[in-house]
């Protein structure tokens, strides 16, 4: 494969390295993916994360193994293990399946860059000069190999000099907004304000949010979609306050095999993430150690709450989405 470098994925001399996102924003450490165990561990611990990026990382890793001469049987069983590393983002399954059906890892990689650019161009059309845009989780260059999905739209609108400002949900419990989106917006010099997740209602009520843009981990045929937990609450608030709510995603996030959101498997994570903060930044547990915990990594937002879908092939209203994808 040719050498390549994006914000979170590098290919150098036929080796894949990934930026350890659990250490951001304070440390930028790259990890060499020497084995399938390395990659699976990186995906499960969210060192590499974001629906498109985990799909591309898997495809690139498999391509490198193939190029190094790994036998088809072994490659196949490796691919199936990696495919199951996380259950919710369908990009992982779709990219591994594309690879197994003969699409090269390199093609999957460069396609993602292109898909992000297209989403950015379509999405920037809904952004008006001076808009305050609220976003949840992280959907930028750290979640893709391109400019991102929702954050790619923000990036594109900013480059078009639309003078936007972004409200960044912190995104409990793993703080993808506070740690990652804030870091990315800072790098691009896009004005932003960080807020805790439970402040979104107050912001909307006071009329300070004109648009909401989020990404997705899996979109069903009927337009219901899974995204980082908390997205559903934002969508309900948006409806109540009449704020347009857009989902931004490439076709690799659309699961044509499922008809509705209830069919999406939601990843459940460990209790320590809710008991306090735990991970590479250190550990501090503030809740009683034996507190029972509910910790789904994602939630499902019904399509009725979506104003529009910003996809790589255009902007779709809910009705247009249903026409295009519902069987
Ligand atoms: O658990 P994460 O950090 O992988 O969750 C990521 C999200 O929910 C993103 O919003 C989604 O993957 C879209 S990324 C372009």
Give yes or no for residue 296 having a pLDDT over 80: yes
pLDDT (average), residues 208-222:
98
Contact 101, 133 (CB under 8 A): no
- Position in ligand 1 atom list of the atom nearest CA 297: 1
How close is the Cα of 71 to the center of ligand 1, in Å? 33
- Position in ligand 1 atom list of the atom nearest CA 144: 15
How confident is the model over 75-85, as pLDDT tens digits?
A: 999 999 999 99
Give helix 72-83 / helix 90-100 axis angle, nearest 10°: 170
CB within 8 Å of 245: residues ≥ 6 apart: 212, 214, 234, 235, 238, 239, 305, 306, 307
Instruction: Write down the pLDDT at residue 279.
Output: 75
Give yes or no for residue 8 having a pLDDT over 90: yes
CA dist 198 and 192 (Å) reads 17
CA dist 37 and 47 (Å) reads 13
Apex 187 CA angle, 184 and 190, nearest 5: 80
Query: How many distinct helices (H) and strands (E) make up the chain?
Result: 11, 16
CA dist 21 and 210 (Å) reads 30
Protein residues whose CB sits closer than 6 Å to any atom of ligand 1: 46, 49-52, 89, 137, 139, 143-144, 148-149, 176, 215-217, 227-228, 297
Give yes or no for residue 153 having a pLDDT over 80: yes
- By C-alpha distance, which of 27, 6, 28 is closest to 16? 6
How close is the Cα of 249 to the center of ligand 1, in Å? 11
How close is the Cα of 144 to the center of ligand 1, in Å? 10
Residue 171, phi-psi category: left (phi > 0), alpha (psi -120 to 50), beta (remainder): left
How confident is the model over 227-286, as pLDDT tens digits?
A: 999 999 999 999 999 999 999 999 999 999 999 999 999 999 999 999 998 777 788 999
Residue 255 three-state SS: coil
How confident is the model over 88-106, as pLDDT tens digits?
A: 999 999 999 999 999 999 9
User: Taking the CB of residue 73, how many other CB atoms lie within 10 A of it?
Assistant: 8
Does 114 qualify as catalytic in the annotation?
no
- Position in ligand 1 atom list of the atom nearest CA 54: 4
How close is the Cα of 254 to the center of ligand 1, in Å? 14
Q: How far is CA 54 from CA 39, 82, 117, 164, 285, in A?
A: 9, 10, 18, 29, 29
Contact 21, 180 (CB under 8 A): yes
CA dist 243 and 324 (Å) reads 25
Contact 188, 155 (CB under 8 A): yes
Give yes or no for residue 52 having a pLDDT over 80: yes
- Give percent of the chain with pLDDT exceeding 90: 97
| Protein residue whose Cα sits closest to atom 6 of ligand 1 | 50
Catalytic option among 131, 169, 217, 312 = 217
* Residue 212 structure tokens: 């909401």
Instruction: Assign 326 a pLDDT band (cuts: 50, 70, 90).
Output: confident
Instruction: Write down the pLDDT at residue 278.
Output: 78
Task: Tell me the best of 22, 151, 215 to mutate to test the pocket of ligand 1, counting ligand atoms within 8 Å of each CB and taking the most.
Answer: 215
How close is the Cα of 216 to the center of ligand 1, in Å? 7
Give helix 51-67 / helix 36-44 axis angle, nearest 10°: 180
Residue 316 three-state SS: strand
CA dist 109 and 92 (Å) reads 13
pLDDT (average), residues 141-165:
98
Question: Tokens 């409990």 identify what position?
Answer: 172
């Amino acid at each position: 494969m040719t050498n390549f470098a994006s914000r979170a994925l590098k290919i150098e001399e036929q080796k894949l390295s990934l930026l350890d996102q659990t250490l951001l924003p304070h440390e930028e450490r790259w990890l060499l993916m020497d084995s399938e165990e390395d990659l699976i561990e990186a995906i499960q611990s969210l060192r590499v994360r974001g629906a498109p990026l985990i799909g591309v990382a898997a495809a690139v890793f498999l391509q490198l193994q193939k190029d190094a001469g790994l036998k088809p049987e072994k490659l196949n069983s490796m691919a199936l293990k990696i495919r199951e590393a996380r259950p919710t983002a369908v990009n992982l399954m779709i990219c591994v399946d594309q690879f197994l059906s003969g699409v090269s890892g390199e093609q999957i990689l460069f396609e993602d860059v292109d898909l992000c650019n297209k989403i950015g161009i379509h999405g920037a059309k809904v952004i008006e000069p001076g808009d305050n845009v609220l976003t949840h989780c992280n959907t930028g260059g750290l979640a893709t190999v391109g400019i991102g999905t929702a954050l790619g739209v923000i990036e594109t609108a900013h480059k078009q000099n639309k003078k936007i400002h972004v409200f960044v949900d912190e995104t409990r419990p793993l703080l993808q907004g506070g740690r990652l989106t804030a870091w990315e917006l800072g790098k691009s010099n896009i004005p932003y304000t960080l807020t805790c997740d439970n402040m979104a209602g107050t912001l909307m009520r006071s009329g300070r949010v004109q648009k909401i843009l989020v990404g997705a981990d899996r979109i069903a045929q009927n337009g219901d979609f899974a995204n980082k937990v908390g997205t559903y609450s934002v969508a309900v608030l948006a409806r109540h306050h009449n704020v347009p709510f857009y989902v931004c995603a490439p076709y690799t996030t659309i699961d044509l095999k499922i008809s509705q959101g209830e069919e999406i498997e939601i990843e459940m994570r460990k209790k320590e993430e809710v008991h306090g903060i735990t991970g590479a930044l250190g550990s501090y547990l503030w809740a009683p150690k034996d507190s029972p915990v509910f910790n789904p990594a994602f939630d499902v937002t019904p399509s009725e709450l979506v104003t529009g879908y910003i996809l790589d092939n255009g902007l779709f209203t809910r009705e247009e989405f249903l026409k295009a994808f519902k069987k």
